[in-house]
Structure 1
Amino acid sequence: MTSTEPKIGHNLKRHRKAAGLSQEALSEASGICVSVIRDLEQGRRDTARMPTLSAFAAALHITTGQLFGDASAGVDRREPDAEPVGLIGVRRALTPVRGLDGQPLDVDPAGPAPTIADVTDAVRAANRIYHRNDYAATLAALPGLLGQVRALVDITGGDEQLAAHTLASRGYALAGRLLIQLRQVDLAHVALDNALRHARDSGDQVAGAEAVAPMCWLLLRCGRFADAKHLALRTAESTEPRLSTANPAELAGWGQLLIKAAAAAVRDASRDEASEILDLAAAGALRLGDRRAPHANLIGNDFSTEGVH
């Protein structure tokens, strides 16, 4: 949050009083401990996990975005004077200032260490909000989310670090998708570069496909049709699953790449090539059937036969 926009605690208190609820009543209605409410309202905490904020919003019958300041909403509404303020938080998260020791200057050493479960919940919650088209709330949530995934990668090791890299890739990919929607092309490119880097470090081909797909979308938005098609097809070829044994996540990631490649081919006046690519995607969608990737609600991948046809 910046000094020019109200903190979440201020907004929480204002909406709670407008609803005629005491802190104890809001605690009971939301299922959130009253001490969390007190800490937020009294400024001892600047923010809370997205599931917590969603619980407050539901109890107060408001949107999650109303708990954040107005700056992010201004960016979402494309107000010309809103962008410099509303994007400060996400700019800081995407391009942190680091000292000679390589550590970001905004790290709070006294803050609680994130866990795999915490970050998984945060990524899932932020994606749900994004897919409700509440871009203002998603934008406001991104700095905290990206800080969490960055910290998780830093503090984990071994197999857990590989899982942390996968979550980081999905968090940065979400940031990239949102920034494309908000027409922040350069910031979107930074976010998606980070998503791809973490996907490579995770060794997870599915995460890699999920990161490449929005990068192809960004290239399409920039008119780079040949680049988008080449990137999508090259990645699809390297991650192509065996249809007879592929799991839903592998099929969905591969299928999304083919959809992006077909879209690029159509825009590049190669309709016959696009038709051939879609035929291949249809085979994957048919194999996928009604199954759904177990992490689909983390990324919003709805590849299916309906999506292909």
Structure 2
Amino acid sequence: MRDDGSRGDRLREIRRARGLTREGLAERAGLSLGVVKKLERGGQARVETYHALARALGVRTSRLIDGPSPHAEARDPDADNAALMPLRQAIAPAVTALGPLSHRADADPEPDLHHLRRAADAVAEAYYRDAYGTVAESLPALIRSAHTAVGHYDGGPENTEARRLRGRVLQMAGRYLVQVRAYDLAHTALRDAVRDSADAHDQGGVSASVYQQGWLLIRQGRLDEAEQVSIATADQSEPRISRATRADLGAWGKLLVHASSAAARNNRPTEAREMLRLARTAGVALGKATAVDTGTWGRFDWRTVAYQAIENAMTAEQPRRALGLSERMPPPPTPTFGRRHLLDVAMAHAMEGTGDEALAILGRLHRISPEWLRHQQMARNVFQRVQRARRRPLTRDQAALGTYLRAL
């Protein structure tokens, strides 16, 4: 896949402006000369590679990856996936002059908002159990029911509640679609979720949808936008600490954590630290408590902020610092809380040459959350990095893990 030279030209121009040869840039960024040559010729790489280059050149990561030709965009590997067709039809239906095809349900009985609310809660619970098959099967009908409810009630509190519920359902759909890397459809779902939540005056729903949108934008390398939407929404929803509920603090804190993650990946460490400082305020206000909303932004407490600090250290390629910080962390309150953090720790071990520790962490995550782990590209990266540096054969269990991760 190529970008018609726009990214390659930009990288070459910045490198020359810094007075660096290709060899000098490769050495400073910790990359091979071949990678630099490939990118300057129009090839592409992961966001992490662009971040290493940006750090070496002293520019924002987004400066190297923004603005490719629209004809050069990667074709979404899920675009033709038949398994996602029901979700596509529910979220982005075909449209006629009379409206979306799948929204016309004049013969349906009067919607039951209580039943819709319970069904949405059940899907949220399934997502947090990593039951992605159940989520994928349940969401299309749930979205159609939410569309029907919004269309049925012309106004009043029922219409407001129907829009609130539709916003929550679409936010869950967006979260699932980001997980399976169907980014185009996720963007549509999350955009509509923000709109519905705002119309229903559901600030928690707005915050959750923007939080998930930030995750999507980071995955796409749209780092400036990820930081901007997170900060703008955090500013809008900033609670008065002395009166804030746990939910208020959790939603605000998670937005700030995402803003910090985007800033760190965008080679803006000062801004990343400032966002974490603000997020720490929310964590301190919670004390020993944890804010939980499984149907929206998940969990937040002081650990969330600490985990992000460790992730930021890894983004800056400081594995030793990351391991030092992780050693201070107590066990998580639940098996799945902090599992993304464990991937950071595994990568830090891989970078420090302690591959057995890295593989042990992957094995633990496989036992705790096998379906979640299957969708984590970072897990494959850790495994492959360890394997390249390994001088002895993999054990049978390690080889089975590599096969499961599609890393062999």
- TM-score in terms of structure 2 length: 0.53
Question: Does the C-alpha gap of structure 1 residues 105 and 226 become closer, same or farther in structure 2, counting only changes over 3 Å?
Answer: closer
Among candidates 105, 128, 146, match of residue 125 of structure 2 = 128
8 Å CA contact retained: 1:99, 1:105? no
Aligned mates of 2:234, 2:218 — CA distance in 1: 17
For the pair 1:115 / 2:105, whether they are aligned, the reply is no
Aligned mates of 1:130, 1:303 — CA distance in 2: 17
8 Å CA contact retained: 2:103, 2:148? no
Question: Does the C-alpha gap of structure 1 residues 81 and 179 become closer, same or farther in structure 2, counting only changes over 3 Å?
Answer: closer
Name the larger-Rg structure: 2
8 Å CA contact retained: 1:249, 1:292? no
Question: Alpha-carbon deviation of 1:100?
Answer: 2.6
Aligned length: 229
Among candidates 238, 250, 255, match of residue 253 of structure 2 = 255
Among candidates 120, 139, 153, match of residue 136 of structure 2 = 139
**Which residue is equivalent to 1:3?**
none
Among candidates 98, 101, 105, match of residue 101 of structure 1 = 98
Question: Does the C-alpha gap of structure 1 residues 106 and 241 become closer, same or farther in structure 2, counting only changes over 3 Å?
Answer: closer
Question: Alpha-carbon deviation of 1:291?
Answer: 5.0
Letter in 1 for 2:107: A
Aligned mates of 1:151, 1:271 — CA distance in 2: 46
**Which residue is equivalent to 1:210?**
208
Question: Alpha-carbon deviation of 1:134?
Answer: 1.8
Aligned mates of 1:269, 1:162 — CA distance in 2: 41
The DSSP-based 3-state class of the residue aligned with 1:87 is helix
8 Å CA contact retained: 1:131, 1:300? no
Question: Percent identical across equivalent pairs?
Answer: 34
Aligned mates of 1:168, 1:293 — CA distance in 2: 23
Question: Does the C-alpha gap of structure 1 residues 209 and 269 become closer, same or farther in structure 2, counting only changes over 3 Å?
Answer: same
Question: Alpha-carbon deviation of 1:105?
Answer: 4.3
**Which residue is equivalent to 1:161?**
159
**Which residue is equivalent to 1:181?**
179
The DSSP-based 3-state class of the residue aligned with 1:151 is helix
Letter in 2 for 1:280: L
**Which residue is equivalent to 2:322?**
none
| RMSD after superposition | 2.1
| Greater relative contact order (Cα < 8 A, sep 6+) | 1
Question: Does the C-alpha gap of structure 1 residues 153 and 288 become closer, same or farther in structure 2, counting only changes over 3 Å?
Answer: farther
Aligned mates of 2:168, 2:103 — CA distance in 1: 22
Equivalent runs, 1:43-58 vs 2, <5 Å: none
**Which residue is equivalent to 1:308?**
305
**Which residue is equivalent to 1:246?**
244
Moved more, 203-212 or 169-178: 203-212
Moved more, 108-117 or 220-229: 108-117
**Which residue is equivalent to 1:278?**
276
Question: Alpha-carbon deviation of 1:263?
Answer: 0.5
Aligned mates of 2:229, 2:219 — CA distance in 1: 14
Question: Alpha-carbon deviation of 1:106?
Answer: 5.7
Q: Any gaps of 5 or more consecutive residues in structure 2?
A: 1-76, 307-408
**Which residue is equivalent to 2:89?**
92
The DSSP-based 3-state class of the residue aligned with 1:302 is strand
Question: Does the C-alpha gap of structure 1 residues 206 and 124 become closer, same or farther in structure 2, counting only changes over 3 Å?
Answer: same
Aligned mates of 2:103, 2:222 — CA distance in 1: 36
Among candidates 245, 264, 267, match of residue 266 of structure 1 = 264
Q: Any gaps of 5 or more consecutive residues in structure 1?
A: 1-79
- TM-score in terms of structure 1 length: 0.69
Question: Does the C-alpha gap of structure 1 residues 183 and 158 become closer, same or farther in structure 2, counting only changes over 3 Å?
Answer: same
Aligned mates of 1:155, 1:289 — CA distance in 2: 44
Question: Alpha-carbon deviation of 1:129?
Answer: 0.9
Letter in 1 for 2:221: G
Question: Alpha-carbon deviation of 1:113?
Answer: 3.0
Aligned mates of 1:89, 1:237 — CA distance in 2: 36
Letter in 2 for 1:137: T
